[in-house]
Every structure is written in structure tokens, then in C-alpha cells.
Amino acid sequence: MSDSAAPIPSAGFSPAPIRTHYAVILAIALCHFINDVMQSVLSASYPLLRDEFGLSFTQIGLMSLAFMGTASILQPVVGTLTDRRPFPQSLTVGMGSTMLGLLLLSQAPSYAFLLSGAALIGIGSAVFHPEASRVARAAAGRKFGTAQSVFQVGGNAGSAGGPLLAAFIVVPMGRPSVAWFAALALVGMTILSQVGRWYASQERKRRAAAPAKSHGLPRRRVVITITLLAFLVFTKNTYIASISAYYTFFLIDRFALSTQEAQMMLFLFLAASAAGVILGGPIGDRIGTRAVIWVSILGALPFTLALPFASLFWTGVLTVLIGLIMSSAFPAIIVFAQELVPGRVGLIAGVFFGMAFGIGGIMAAALGLLADSYGIETVYAICAFLPALGILAAFLPHLNRDPA
């Protein structure tokens, strides 16, 4: 299925309609769901692995580092390499790495093999995210924000659904059942092999066409703008990490909720975040990515400031609003950055997805140290001011596609 968009003229060529390939976008979003389900199975399996192998929390932390470290560091490398030499079937290879990691986790005889399995899953993620983001952009036509939103919400759904699947399959069935998730990888590899063929044909057409029109910004301004965008990602992901990692503890300590009740409140936040991702891209296509970035970070400030002082009911309402508003930023940031650096789609996706991985892990640990020293409510009192840094969006330039 496709949708006709306005033509983009290029020197030496007649204007031609640019189509949005929704089937490809949905396929890549489904594979993002599969990829992130398999990733979340790793962390959901930690209690089983701790009991079976007698692991310490440090050893579990090293497994997370093996996964998140390889994913974070390798994503920009993969993006750079495939920008220079496209490899359309790399997505299939990456999901194959994740499948091998799961199989190794399910049968590992020692801790060293567990670390290797976690690293293989990280390598699979490092290949998947920049390349899948590139495919989503190639299929977008001119609806770049919409394509990024649909692609990213597949990952959000996978991250949320993975622990539930693990609770119903891995926990009652034991560690060998982790191998069952490898069947999902086979489904993903089948879909991605077809997507790879489509993308290869698009690459041939792209190389035959005229180069895309540049935004005309000087290199120094581009570097400064990318740095600003990176800082905004830091702001957003640090606050999101405070919710994802410690929100349930905050609710239990402040309102004496049960663990199950606190988990339901966390689910409301995750659902609102998914809705924000869905809405952020299409809104950015209409009003401009710069406006979405501005509103989605700075606009959450009144709600984050009120959260530490709210009643239980208003805590739920505020959390939903925060998740909805702040999560709309990331698709817009990716699209804005890709338009700043034409021809480096993979590098930009790798840098920003890798940074999101890294910031989430590092800041979750840092906020944990802060909570141990000063209490969980202090964490939210300090983090409440983070969205104020969204004022930096005022320094982002107006690009060709953004309204003046």
C-alpha cells in the first residue's frame, strides 16, 4: 500500500511523485517489535539466571553492560559503515545474531557463555536500529515523521510486551524456554529478507537520481545543532529513566501501593509514551519537527514540577501527560538530525539510538545512587527541572521542511 505525496523537483530530472510505502513501514515496525521483545527477555530472565548460577548483582550488571555496551557503541559504527557501503541484508544478519544470543542463553553451561549470549543480542540490536531506521526513511516518501513514529512504536510495544511474555513462558517453563523466542527471530528474518530485497532496489534508484538538495547551513552550525539535539536527548532520556527504573518504588514509598498496583501505574506511563511516539511523527510532518521538539520537552515542565507534590490520582494523570508529551520528541529529533546531515541516515540513527541506550543505562545507575543517598522523592524533585532545558530548542535552525 502506498500514498502519493507532493513531487520533489531535482536538477536535470522531471518531478516525480514520491510514494509512502506503508507495507514496508509496517513490516519494519513489526520486526522492531520482535527485536525488542527478544531484548527484554534478557532482562526478564535475570531472576532465573541469578538463582540457577548463583550470580551476584555485579555479575548481572555486567551482563547488562555486555548487552547495552555493545548496542550503544556499535550502532554508530554500523551506521557509518553502511552509509558508505549499503548492505541491504544486514538486517537479516543482525536478527540472526540476536537469535544465536537467545539460543546461547537458553543452553549456556557457564557465566562466560551467558555474557557471550548477552553480547550477541547487543550486536543484533546494534545492526538492527540504524539500518531499520534507514529503511523507514526510504519508505517514508515525504512523511518522515510518520514513518519514524510507526517504526519506533513497534519497539515500544516490544519492550512493554517482552516482560509479560517472559512472565507467562520463561518463569513457569524455566531457562530452556528462552530458546522458544528464537522462533520469533526466524519470523523476523523471513520478513527482513524481503524488506532487504525491496531496499536494495530503492538503493539502485537512489544512486541513479540526483543528490538531495542541501539545507545550506555551514558545517559549524550543523555541529552545534547536533550537539544541542544530543543534549535534548540526554534531558528527555534522563527523566524517562527516572520513571522507568524507579517510579514503582516512588509510588510504593509515597502512597503505600502494592507492587501490582504500582506496576499498573507504570503501565499507564508506558502506554502514554507509546501514544506520544505515534502522535509525534505525524504532528511533526504537519507543523514541523522543530516545533514538536520545542513543545515535547519544555511543554512537560509544568507537569514534572507538580508531580512530586501531587495526590495519587493526580500523580497518575500527570504521569500520563508527561509520557505523552515527552515521548513525542524522539521521532522528531531523529528526523531533524537526518535532515541536517543528508546522506548519513545510518550514522545519525546509530548515534541517537546508541545514545538513547547509553544514557538510559548510565543515568538509571546514577539516579539509583542518588536515591540510596537522599531518598527516591529527592530524585523526582531534582529531575522535575530537567525539561526546563528544553529552552535550548529555541536555538535550533529552521530547515527547509519546517514552517518559518
Count of Cβ atoms closer than 10 Å to residue 220 Cβ? 8
Give me the pLDDT at residue 388, please: 93
Q: Could you tell me the pTM of the whole model?
A: 0.72
Distances (CA, A) of 143 to 4, 19, 138, 178, 331: 10, 9, 10, 38, 12
CATH for 19-208 is 1.20.1250.20
Res 402: pLDDT: 53
Strand partners, 19: 4
Q: What is the pLDDT of residue 97?
A: 94
Of 6-15, 74-83, 115-124, 232-241, the least confident: 6-15
Place of cell 548463583: 54
Q: Is the pLDDT of residue 121 over 50?
A: yes
Domain regions of the chain by residue span = 19-208, 219-395
Does residue 99 have a pLDDT over 90? yes
Closest CA to 182 of 122, 253, 96: 96
Residue 212 has a pLDDT of 54
State how far the Cα of 296 lies from the Cα of 152, in Å rounded to an integer: 16
In this chain, the answer to whether the domains covering 19-208 and 219-395 adopt an identical fold is yes
**Residue 165: closest CA among 30, 28, 38:** 38
Q: How far apart are CA 222 and CA 160, in angstroms?
A: 35
Dihedral over Cα of 105, 110, 115, 120: its sign? negative
Task: Report which residue type is found at 238.
Answer: T
- Binned at pLDDT 50, 70 and 90, residue 14 comes out as very low
**3-state SS of the chain: helix, strand, coil percent to 5?**
80, 0, 15
pLDDT tens string 192-212 = 999 988 988 887 776 655 455
Mean pLDDT on 19-36: 91
Q: Give the chain's mean pLDDT.
A: 82
Q: Is the pLDDT of residue 170 over 80?
A: no
Mean pLDDT to the nearest integer, 218-243: 86
Q: Is the pLDDT of residue 226 over 60?
A: yes
Least confident of 23-27, 215-219, 226-230, 338-342: 215-219
Percent of the chain with pLDDT over 90: 21
How would residue 400 be classed by pLDDT, with cut points 50, 70 and 90? low
Q: What is the pLDDT of residue 1?
A: 42
Q: What angle do CA 223, 207, 93 make, to 5 degrees?
A: 80
The tens digit of pLDDT for each residue in 252-290 reads: 888 998 877 887 888 788 788 888 888 888 888 888 888
> Which pLDDT score, from 0 to 100, does residue 7 have?
41
Q: How confident is the model at residue 322 (pLDDT cuts 50, 70, 90)?
A: very high
276 touches 324 (CB < 8 A): yes
Query: Is pLDDT larger for residue 48 or for residue 300?
Result: 300
pLDDT at residue number 45: 79
Of 4 and 37, the structure prediction assigns the larger pLDDT to: 37
Highest mean pLDDT among 35-44, 161-170, 387-396: 387-396
Does pLDDT of 248 surpass 50? yes
| Distance separating alpha carbons of residues 255 and 118, to the nearest angstrom | 36
In tens, the pLDDT along 129-151 reads 888 888 888 898 888 888 888 88
Contacts 24+ apart (CB under 8 A), 86-89: 86/199, 86/200, 86/203, 88/196, 88/197, 88/199, 88/200, 88/203, 89/192, 89/193, 89/196
Architecture of the domain defined by 219-395: Up-down Bundle (1.20)
Q: Of 27-31, 97-101, 291-295, 309-313, which gets the smallest average pLDDT? A: 291-295
Mean pLDDT of 73-90: 81
DSSP letter at 402 equals: S
Q: What is the pLDDT at residue 209?
A: 56
Q: What is the mean pLDDT of residues 165-186?
A: 82
Per-residue pLDDT band for 81 (boundaries 50, 70, 90) equals: confident
Closest C-alpha to 238, from 103, 329, 312: 329
Higher pLDDT, 229 or 360: 229
